[in-house]
Chain A
Amino acid sequence: MTLEILGITVLWTFLFGYILVGAIDFGAGFFNAYSLLTGKQRILTNIIQRYLSPVWEVTNVFLVFFFVGIIGFFPKTAFYYGTTLLVPVSIGIILLAIRGSYYAFETYGARGHKGYSFMYGLAGILLPASLSIVLTISEGGFVEMVDGKPVLDYWLLFTSPLTWAIVVLSIAATLYISAVFLTWYANKARDVEATNLLRKYALTWALPTIITAGGIIVELRNHNPEHYSNIQNFWPMFLISFLLFIGTVWLLWKRRNYGWAFILLGGQFIFAFFGYGASHYPYLLYPYLTIYDSFTNPAMAISLIVVFIMGLGLLIPSLYLLMRLFLFDKNYVRGKGDYHA
């Protein structure tokens, strides 16, 4: 394996981590706001807050890690993506800022404040859409080089069916992932009412997720034939992903093993995400930027990898501790004792 592939694999893994924990986070915010609107807040809020409160800051770091890492390993991405993404990513930052701070305001400052809950619920659900634009642009066709500078064609971007397919997928998948996770968490907390409600949400969002995911592959046939044919080469990964999806839905339907349902869901997204990533190889921005012509110098690459390994040595035990205390601790999950500062 070359350093380039190692670098992009590490980053892709962290992006996956962000998408998974971020989706749980954003979806939970939306369900919390939605439950306020429909008068079901009593059922959901406790479950959602108990999981989210100790981890919301960690979620954000996955994103920071990804974008700092990509500039480190592939500095040329700053030139191409930095210039073109000013507007979509700035909107993403603003949503992120509103979501993060209003979550904290509501949770620690003014518990049960409706305005704050709506703000972070709404901002959270728009976030995946604004950030997924980056994936759309990476498919090529929206950026043009003028006088050696990349320029983004907004009109083309906003009228492309591919854009909207990815936006819809990101929202559907967010709600689906979040609902499946929270079903498991609520079940662990022995909260029957919340489990049933969240299970209903999970089943509702399963179908839109899989339909739009399939639709994007069809969409790519017109938009980027090269990528489409690469995807064909990785068909077993997408097949496994689909089977895992069926498994999750079946378990949810049968009201069994919610823990396994979530693990299968993780597998579904791992296979789909890495299949998609592998078929995108070697392009970071089609057709201008590959992982080879943008890779950093060997000295930096090696020092980044060394730091990365040392960092993981620090992080993995800490993350394990965090999960043991808040995800796998029965008393905490069931809400016995108020340990809040």
Chain B
Amino acid sequence: MREGNSVGNEEAVFFSRVLTETTLSFHIIFATIGVGVPLMIMIAQWVGIRKNDEHYILLARRWARGFVITVAVGVVTGTAIGLQLSLLWPNFMELAGNVIALPLFMETFAFFFEAIFLGIYLYTWDRFENQKKHLLLLIPVALGASFSAVFITIVNAFMNAPQGFDLVDGELININPLIAMLNPAMPTKVAHVVVTAYMTAAFVLASIAAYRLLKGSNHEYHKKALFLTMKIGLIFSVAAAIIGDFSGKYLAEYQPEKLAAAEWHFETEGNAPLILYGVLDGEEVKYALEIPYALSILAHSIPSAEVIGLDQFPDDEIPPLYIHYLFDIMVTIGVWMTVLSAVFWIGTRRRWKMVSTKWFRWLIVLGGPLSIIAIEAGWWMAEVGRQPWILRGLMRTEDAATTSGHVDTMLILFCLLYIVLGIGVIVVLRRMFRNNPVDREIEDREMEKGGDVL
């Protein structure tokens, strides 16, 4: 049981990073759905009440049922990452706890609020005479879910742009928790996270509807679901693109090394081109698509503006250059989904035949998983782009990790857990909707209400 020697620590740092990445990568799938889907349920319920259309109400109900399963996994993996922060990065939490505990604490309240009202919402179907009352219960659920994301992203923003304290001889003084929360990375990060969560949730639900349409059912219900989710997805993907542009400007101003690494921008220069795709060979970029001036525009809105390059930073403060690929994946998928949903929206309104063809629907089916990949790639880029720091400019990742020698064993255990949970979710969700197809549920509800619904 010897722990604490330097070789052990190097290993512990490596495994701690892998374990944190694994947990977060698994968690954000469910977290994203958890933030976005309550809003979709709320919109469907609202549209259903307003149009007096039973289909939308049923849509809300069926989404809610599937949602509970993903919430369960989101809750337990969220608990895992919450505890792992202290277990794997005790030195970081000791320091950061002094400055950033406030939003962490607020996040638990948001989560509490959501948990209470989700329980009530799920178990009060048909308990209220008035469906509008039932809709009101969804507001705290959606608010709680979104505010959890807001607060936890504030913590992450603080890691990118720590402020709200002075560090004098290793001692923290003049701590101001509010200033720490309102750090410069906060607005763009929070907005981007929340909006892309809505966008992803919409496209995931669209993908399910498109799949049902492809697999035989030609029910009006699925068509309504598809049009509603694609429209919402389009709105939020446009918003995501605009905020993405702000994020670029933020990076140029406050975290230029991340932008430079993501863009393979080696030399500080004006009229900087944006590099899309390509392969890096030493310091040479091959097969890339260059858009002149675009990086200067992204960074400062002026084509001739100077963009800081990697030459301005010491070698040991430059993030890994592979984040360029992650950036490309994220942006490409984002643009692709915006175009796809715009074509679908216009096409449906103008009755183009193309949007109801098989191949187009397959593209929509593909959109759900693609959006999740974009979320993952975006987070990896944001997190790896902060290396070598855990607190940018203050604490290096290797100084923050635990000294325990058991991280590798825990990594294996957690990987097994995520496999078990992942398989469980898929099996349960499939069984849930296979055994109770929508056509039958509509019939059942009509019978219940004496057939005078539709």
Contacts and interface: CB of A to CB of B under 8 A. Distances in A.
Interface of A: 53-58, 60-61, 63-65, 67-69, 71-73, 75-87, 89-91, 93-94, 96-98, 100-105, 108-110, 146-147, 149, 151, 153-155, 296-297, 299-300, 303-304, 307-308, 311, 314-315, 318-319, 321-322, 325-326, 332, 337, 339-341
A100 B75 contact: yes
A297 B64 contact: no
Contact of A67 (B4, B65, B86, B127): B86
A91 B78 CA distance: 15
- Counting from the closest, the 4 A-B pairs by CB-CB distance are A75-B97, A82-B90, A72-B101, A104-B72
Contact of B111 (A55, A64, A78, A332): A64
Contact of B108 (A65, A332, A340): A65
B93 interface: yes
B402 A300 contact: no
Given A78-B97, A97-B417, A296-B97, A54 B119 contact: yes
A78 B93 contact: yes
A304 B69 contact: no
B101 A300 contact: yes
B362 interface: no
B123 interface: yes
Contact of B1 (A73, A155, A311): A155
A307 B111 contact: no
25 contacts: A54-B119, A61-B108, A61-B112, A67-B86, A68-B101, A68-B105, A68-B108, A75-B97, A75-B101, A79-B93, A83-B402, A96-B79, A96-B80, A97-B80, A101-B73, A104-B72, A104-B73, A146-B4, A149-B4, A149-B403, A297-B98, A303-B178, A304-B102, A319-B116, A341-B125
B101 A60 contact: no
A82 B105 CA distance: 18
Given A57-B75, A60-B115, A104-B68, A300 B98 contact: yes
Interface in B50-105: 61, 64-65, 68-69, 71-73, 75-80, 82-84, 86-91, 93-99, 101-102, 104-105
A312 B71 CA distance: 24
A64 B96 CA distance: 18
Contact of A308 (B68, B72, B105, B172): B105
B357 interface: no
Nearest to B60: A341
A299 B402 CA distance: 28
- Give the interface size bracket for B toward A: 35 or more
B404 A67 contact: no
A104 B424 CA distance: 11
B90 A79 contact: yes
Contact of B410 (A58, A61, A90): A90
Contacts of A153: 1
A90 B413 contact: yes
Contacts of B83: 67, 89, 93
Contacts of B79: 60, 63-64, 93, 96-97, 100
Interface of B: 1, 3-4, 61, 64-65, 68-69, 71-73, 75-80, 82-84, 86-91, 93-99, 101-102, 104-109, 111-113, 115-127, 140, 172, 175-178, 402-404, 406-407, 409-410, 413-414, 417, 420-421, 424-425, 428-429, 431-432
A96 B421 CA distance: 12
Nearest to B91: A79
Contacts of B414: 90, 94
A96 to B, nearest CB: 6
A78 B76 contact: no
Contacts of B69: 104-105, 108-109
A57 B71 contact: yes
A73 B432 CA distance: 43
A109 B431 contact: yes
B119 A58 contact: yes
A58 B403 contact: no
Nearest to A304: B105
A310 B98 CA distance: 21
A299 B116 contact: no
Contacts of B402: 82-83, 86
Contacts of B73: 101, 104
Contact of A98 (B4, B106, B125, B417): B417
A332 B127 CA distance: 10
Given A87-B410, A108-B65, 10 more contacts: A60-B75, A61-B115, A64-B108, A83-B404, A93-B84, A94-B417, A303-B177, A326-B123, A337-B127, A339-B125
Nearest to B404: A86
A71 B108 CA distance: 13
